[in-house]
Structures are given as structure tokens and as C-alpha cells.
Amino acid sequence: MKETWRLVRRVIEDGDVVLEVVDARDPEATRSKEAEALAERLGKRLLVVLNKADLVSREFLEKWKAFFESAGMRVVYISAKYRRGTRRLLVSIRELAPRIPVTVVVVGYPNVGKSTIINYLKGRYVAPTSPKPGWTRGEQLVRAKSWLVVLDTPGIVKTPSTGDLALDVIRGLVDPGTVDDPVPYAYALLKRVLTYNPNALRETYGVVSDVENALEEIGRAKRKLLKGGRVNIDEAARIVLRDWVTGKLRYSHPPPNV
Ligand SMILES: Nc1nc2c(ncn2[C@@H]2O[C@H](COP(=O)(O)OP(=O)(O)OP(=O)(O)O)[C@@H](O)[C@H]2O)c(=O)[nH]1
Ligand SMILES: [Mg+2]
């Protein structure tokens, strides 16, 4: 734990600007106030990037933008995957740069799209990306433009479990492929998803169900059956966790007091 923050501190120390990447589906849950505080304490300028904007309506993005701005923070929303809003990102980095060339440190929880953003800035695939959370293991310095050097970092992984299983999934602390028991995580995640998007099950799986029976229905729809015809709930749960990290499962968490 201490080690994680020492690492985050060290990379932030090396940069001129800190780019904090969060998942636009749930910015509050995927921001790291510790990293923000570190940036502030070390006198680094911070830019919040709401990534995966393609998964959320513009209305929500604008509300979140206003929310961060009202707290005096710089923020842009982009879809690194579909290259939307990325010009605004470059403009913001340039405006914040205390010197040229500027070194930008990209931080955030696993799976929020840090490496994808770096590839976009570079214009080609230099930072490996994957739907598997925790993909980037070491730091990688990339000269993206003549005036811009970016540092890719591993997701802030060694954060302790929040105690809230849904939050653990959203923060990329759970690997759908290797987690021992995916069922409680998937169940907690679905509960949160359905709170903010009651249509999520229909949209994603074409099933109508309450949360208690959702895994059963999803497993049936996906034909994940055991011998004898019972649904393979474990497999259904992994599908749900995977659909979160690949962006198939959606909701929009509203900013506080909206
Ligand atoms: N829908 C959508 N998916 C995205 C976007 N940006 C990244 N992704 C996807 O999110 C997954 C994770 O992306 P990465 O760039 O590897 O994320 P990371 O933050 O570097 O993850 P770690 O290295 O594990 O910390 C990949 O499957 C990407 O294709 C985006 O703007 N929209
Ligand atoms: Mg990465």
C-alpha cells in the first residue's frame, strides 16, 4: 500500500503536468483524491480526463465537466478509442504546460484508458492496451510530439479493497478472468448498474429480470449451461465483469447534487 503511493509520488514528481484519467461512466468512483492531493502538494498542474465518453450521453459529460470546474479543476472529456475530443485534450495540455517540451504523467485506476490515450497522442500503437485490468506493469516514457513527452504508468492497483464489491470492479481491482469467486462481484456490480440504468439488462443482454435473478437469466441468454441444463452462474458472472471492462455494460453516475 505505502509502496503504491511512493510509486505514484515518484512518477508525479517527475512530471510537469498530471493527467488524471477517470471512467466517464462513473467519474467520482474512478478518481483518486489521493493522487489529486499529491499533485497539489507537489505543485503540479492537474488535468482531469473523463475518458470513454462514447459510453455516456453528452448531457452527463457536460454536467460532470461543470462539477469539476466548480471545484476549480481543469477537465476535458474524450473518447480515446474513437478519437473524439482529443484535440481539446492537446489544447488543454498545451495551456497547462509550464515549459516546452512538457512532461505529462498519466495516472489513474486500471482499465480507465491511460495507455489508449498515450497511443492516441503518439499517433500509433506504442503503449500496450488490454481490457484486462492491470495490463501496464511498468512505466513507459513516450515522446508523443516534439513538444510533448508522456509517461504511461501502471494503474493504481494496490489500493485496498473498498469493502464495496461494485466499487472494486469499477476501479479495475478485479480481473474477470482470474478472480476466484466472480459471483458476489457481478451481483454487486449489477445492483449499482441497475440503480443508475434500469434498462441495462435489456440493453446489454436482451433479458428482463430483477437483480436477484439476473445472473441466471444472463447465463441462459448466453447459453452457459452445465450438464443437466442448469445455468453456469460462475460463467455468467464472469461475462458481466468482462462486459464492464470492455464497456458493453453502461450506466451514467450523476455528479453529486444533480
Ligand atoms: N469504449 C471505450 N473504451 C476505451 C476507451 N479508451 C480505452 N478503452 C478500452 O479500455 C480498455 C483499457 O484500456 P487501456 O488503455 O489498456 O487502459 P489502462 O488505463 O492503460 O489500463 P492498465 O494498464 O491496466 O492500468 C481497453 O479495452 C480499451 O480499448 C474509450 O475511449 N472508449
Ligand atoms: Mg495501461
Q: Where residue 193 sits, what CATH number does that domain have?
A: 1.10.1580.10
Number of domains present in the structure of the chain:
2
Does 254 map to a domain? no
pLDDT tens-digit profile, the chain (258 residues): 677 778 888 889 989 999 999 999 999 999 999 999 999 999 999 999 999 999 999 999 999 999 999 999 999 999 999 999 989 999 999 999 999 999 999 999 999 999 999 999 999 999 999 999 888 888 899 999 999 999 999 888 656 677 899 999 999 999 999 999 999 999 999 999 999 999 999 999 999 999 999 999 999 999 999 999 999 999 999 999 999 999 999 999 999 876
Same domain, 76 and 142: yes
Contacts of 99 (CB under 8 A, 6+ apart): 16
Q: How far is the CA of 49 from the centre of ligand 1 (A)?
A: 13
Position 244 scores a pLDDT of: 97
Query: What cell was used for 216?
Result: 441466471
Position 1 scores a pLDDT of: 61
Does 158 map to a domain? no
**Ligand that lies nearest to the alpha carbon of residue 247, given by its number in the listed order:** 1
Same domain, 173 and 147: no
Q: How far is the CA of 138 from the centre of ligand 2 (A)?
A: 9
Of the candidates 128, 152, 176, which is a domain's last residue?
A: 152
Best mutation site among 23, 30, 54, 111 for ligand 1 pocket (most ligand atoms within 8 Å of CB): 111
Q: Whose CA is nearest to atom 7 of ligand 1?
A: 113
Domain range for residue 196?
165-245
Q: Which residues of 175-201 are buried (b: 16+ CB within 10 A; e: fewer)?
A: bbeebeebbebbbbbbebbbeebeebb
Query: What cell was used for 32?
Result: 483518486
Position 9 scores a pLDDT of: 85
